[in-house]
Amino acid sequence: MSSDVRRKSIRRVHAAVRQEPAAPAVPNELPTVSLSKLTKPDFRAEEYLKETLRVVQEKNIRQFRKALEDSRKGASKNLQKNVYRNYESFVFISKEISSMERDMQLLRELLHNISEVGDELMDEDELMDEPSRLARRRTQRMSMAN
């Protein structure tokens, strides 16, 4: 966009803003960027600009534009930092979850093995005759006592 077109565009915005009823603001006052208004969920850019630039001169509009660009750059850097910080946390948590899933799988396998051993012992116990079962229990009790 050429500088003439840009100037005309700025003048049109400035003229449209001046068509609104006069605001109580001082004409030469530099408008400030209101982050609280910019972050509202129902933010409307045109209304914000009309309200903010109602009686502002062209040179102050340029300064306001620069302040808006600086705010955008700052917000972009902040967002990028948050994304990186959250990404590192995400990777760490994902690794922890993966490790816990492996541990849970190992625990399931061990519990299954213990269950199978218990079932096999019960089957063996049922196959033994009564006297040998009693002898085995006595041996187990004696080994536990030692």
pLDDT in tens, 48-106: 888 888 878 888 888 888 888 998 899 899 999 988 888 988 999 999 999 999 999 99
The pLDDT confidence band at residue 33, using thresholds 50, 70 and 90, is confident
Distance CA 27, CA 4 (A): 24
The pLDDT confidence band at residue 111, using thresholds 50, 70 and 90, is very high
Token representation of residue 32? 């400030």
Percent of the chain with pLDDT over 90: 23
Number of H helices, E strands in the chain: 5, 0
Distance CA 139, CA 146 (A): 11
Distance CA 32, CA 45 (A): 15
The pLDDT confidence band at residue 14, using thresholds 50, 70 and 90, is very low
Q: Is residue 5 predicted with pLDDT exceeding 50?
A: no
Choose among 55, 64, 67, 68: nearest CA to 14. Answer: 55
The amino acid at residue 79 is: L
* Ranges of H-type helices in the chain: 3-18, 35-38, 45-52, 58-127, 130-145
Q: What is the DSSP letter of 34?
A: -
The pLDDT confidence band at residue 20, using thresholds 50, 70 and 90, is very low
The amino acid at residue 59 is: K
